[in-house]
Amino acid sequence: MGLANFVRTAASTVIGIVSLNLFVLAAASTGAFVLPVGKKKKEERLQAQSELWDLSTQPLPGFYHKFYEGADGVTLHYVEGGDTSPDSPLVIFIHGFPDSWFIWHHQLSAPTIQQKAHLIAIDLPGYGGSGAFPRASATAILSSIATFIVAQKEKKKSESCILVTHDWGSIIGFRLASEAGFLFTRCIILNALHPSLAVENVTRATSSASRMLQTYVRNPTNFALVRSAFRSMKPFLTQLKCSYYISVFLLPFPLARQLYKMGDFWFLRLCSKFSKFHNEEVYLANSFGPSKSEADGYPAAVLDRQDVNKRADQKIAYYRDNLWLSKWRKPENIQLIAAASENNSGFTGLLEQKEGSFKCPVTIVYAARDTAFHRRFCYEGLEEYLLPSKGKTGKSYLVCFPKARHWPMVSSPGRESVDMLIESELEGIDGEDMKEKVWAVDKEIKFEIEK
């Protein structure tokens, strides 16, 4: 290990330990470590798990549990409903940490969306009712999800495919939109940062600050250079402050899993509170996946996840295994589709695109009250990555939900606004007409970037 890597690892470990201790104190102040879990809560949790995960029942009215067995040997669980006819457009939902397909139940249950589209909400590998990989690498996860999407599209006559994502699902969504955008007519991406843009912003900030500090060394009385260097780094430092909880997940085991499981899942209960979920025990059931009594019929990994340590490890693996940045070695079928897509589009390669640029229209939503992401760091320079529109349709947007937090699709008015974005795409509405439709729900929503 080089000196720079050692320093980074040591700093991350120190920050992680300090952060974990702060979380422990916060949990202790609520009595999470001493208050017993009541019989009523346990019964509510088990009942909720049964309603969400029992394969013999409908998880939502008109929806059914389904499984897809990938060539990689990992079986994915998903729920399916709406208009499943071959001619209907496809809408695929991908959740984030620490959730499952159920986090999208408002959108799945919306009659206006159900009537217009074939709806699929998938559990990521290692989550909910899906199997798991030994490591959550980019090649494993992206290949699994992309191959699943291709398989679903092959059942359809309609070419329309909309991807709707949140949190870690949105990190995956960003990567798919830039590396396999030919699969989608639009990606609606909620509350996450685009990996390529984040790296560019970090590099730009550190390079600028470094030049200023080097100049300051030669002119030690010019304190304006120090202030300018700090201003250059401030967005990055603010994002580090927003993301401090991740440092806990990067600690050595067994410390890394403590935040997830301590105090009868205090951290998950905190997520439930922040998301304004309607019922805490239902939220836990959404995150846990099937209980032991429902595990029969699910992949073997689901039974393994009855062990809380394994459940925690598979969820936080997305943070630990560099999924957001590592190289994706695409499977052959995806490479062939990509080549055919480039040929059909008439792309000659003469116009060089920035690495990480989107290959399809995107609608990127961020919540003004989301404490996990800093707007300037995450989205400054986004215009350079957007696919130019052709005429009045196929535009790309950065949209601010001023009243929403990290889970905008869960509580009002965010969930209705997300519904309107989906409905607009299904109806072929774009530009000013789409904005009017969204503003009818929340007139304070801001369309900050349009291309």
- Per-residue pLDDT band at 42 (split at 50, 70, 90): confident
On the CB side of 283, CA atoms within 13 Å amount to 20
List alpha helices for 276-331, DSSP H: 280-288, 300-304, 308-320
- Per-residue pLDDT band at 352 (split at 50, 70, 90): low
Tokens linked to 17: 């330990």
pLDDT at residue 348, rounded to an integer = 43
pLDDT at residue 408, rounded to an integer = 97
3-state secondary structure 226-262: HHHHHHHHHHHHHHHHHCCCHHHHCCCCCHHHHHHHH
Mean pLDDT of the chain: 93
Rounded-to-integer distance, Cα 228 and Cα 137, Å: 38
Match 């989550």 to its residue by tokens: 127
Judge whether 409 and 384 are in contact, CB under 8 Å. Answer: no
Among residues 293, 300, 311, the alpha carbon closest in space to that of 50 is found at 293
- Per-residue pLDDT band at 321 (split at 50, 70, 90): very high
Range of lowest pLDDT (39-43, 63-67, 286-290): 39-43
pLDDT at residue 312, rounded to an integer = 97
Please state the domain count of the chain: 1
Spell out the long-range contacts of 289-296 with Cβ–Cβ below 8 A and sequence spacing 24 or more: 289/49, 289/53, 289/100, 289/123, 289/127, 289/128, 289/129, 290/49, 290/53, 290/129, 291/46, 291/49, 291/50, 291/53, 293/46, 293/50, 294/49, 294/50, 294/53, 294/54, 294/55
Judge whether 107 and 113 are in contact, CB under 8 Å. Answer: yes
- Per-residue pLDDT band at 349 (split at 50, 70, 90): very low
Q: How many CB atoms lie within 10 A of CB 23?
A: 20
Judge whether 316 and 300 are in contact, CB under 8 Å. Answer: no
pLDDT at 406 over 50: yes
- Per-residue pLDDT band at 250 (split at 50, 70, 90): very high
Type of residue numbered 427: E
Judge whether 203 and 133 are in contact, CB under 8 Å. Answer: no
CATH code for position 79: 3.40.50.1820
Please provide the size of the chain in residues: 451
Match 């008439």 to its residue by tokens: 346
Rounded-to-integer distance, Cα 390 and Cα 451, Å: 10
pLDDT at 5 over 70: yes
pLDDT at residue 448, rounded to an integer = 97
pLDDT at 350 over 50: no
pLDDT at residue 4, rounded to an integer = 62
Average pLDDT on 217-221 reads: 87
Average pLDDT on 242-268 reads: 95
Judge whether 194 and 174 are in contact, CB under 8 Å. Answer: yes
Rounded-to-integer distance, Cα 122 and Cα 76, Å: 7
User: What residues make up the domain containing 85?
Assistant: 1-451
pLDDT at residue 166, rounded to an integer = 98
Tokens linked to 218: 């030669």
pLDDT tens readout for residues 153-168: 999 999 999 999 999 9
pLDDT at 67 over 50: yes
The answer to pTM > 0.85 is yes
Tell me which DSSP letter residue 390 carries: B
Among residues 312, 306, 307, the alpha carbon closest in space to that of 258 is found at 312
pLDDT tens readout for residues 362-393: 999 999 999 999 999 999 999 999 999 987 78
List alpha helices for 346-401, DSSP H: 375-379
Sign for the CA dihedral angle at 416, 417, 422, 423 comes to positive
- Per-residue pLDDT band at 318 (split at 50, 70, 90): very high
Those residues whose C-beta lies under 8 Å from the C-beta of residue 376, and which sit 6 or more positions away, are 235, 238
pLDDT at 43 over 80: yes
Which has the higher per-residue pLDDT, 345 or 386?
386
Average pLDDT on 185-204 reads: 96
